Copies of this chain bind each other. A is one copy, B any other.
Amino acid sequence: MFAETLRKVIDNVDGGIGGVIMGLDGIPVETYMRQKERLDINTIGMEFSFILAQVRKAADSLAVGTCEEMSVKAERLVLVVRMLDPRYFLAVALQPEGNFGKARYLMRLAAPRLVEQL
């Protein structure tokens, strides 16, 4: 079911490359790659699991509540991350010209279904 939800998000976003549900410890639960020749979403997720843990610490220390979403735009990649619970996140990689807004929207819609199963 994780795989099916991931696939629906990635395939319905222009420029969607792949997605992963991962623990903050960098261990993937489920992965989906639409464009297999491109960057590995597990490697991307692992790099950002560390950063996400730092963002959560910063949010704590600033007392602004829990971190809900994070996104990074690099020259050749856009990464959108949504926290599912305190331990797991959903990360979606897009091409730089991909539809960032739709990715965020579909991730928000998918989150409750994913959280139910974690």
A35-82 CB contacts (< 8 Å) to partner B? 39, 43-44, 47-48, 50-51, 54-55, 58-59, 61-62, 64-77
Cross-interface CB contact of A59 among B55, B70, B74, cutoff 8 Å: B74
Interface residues on A, range: 20 to 34
Instruction: Decide: B54 and A77 in contact? CB cutoff 8 A.
Output: no
A10-46 CB contacts (< 8 Å) to partner B? 39, 43-44
- A104 CB → nearest B CB, Å: 9
Show 24 residue pairs from A and B whose CB-CB distance is below 8 angstroms, ordered by the A residue: A39-B62, A44-B62, A47-B58, A50-B58, A51-B54, A51-B55, A51-B58, A55-B72, A59-B72, A59-B74, A62-B74, A62-B77, A64-B76, A64-B77, A65-B75, A65-B76, A67-B72, A67-B74, A68-B75, A69-B71, A69-B73, A70-B71, A70-B73, A101-B101
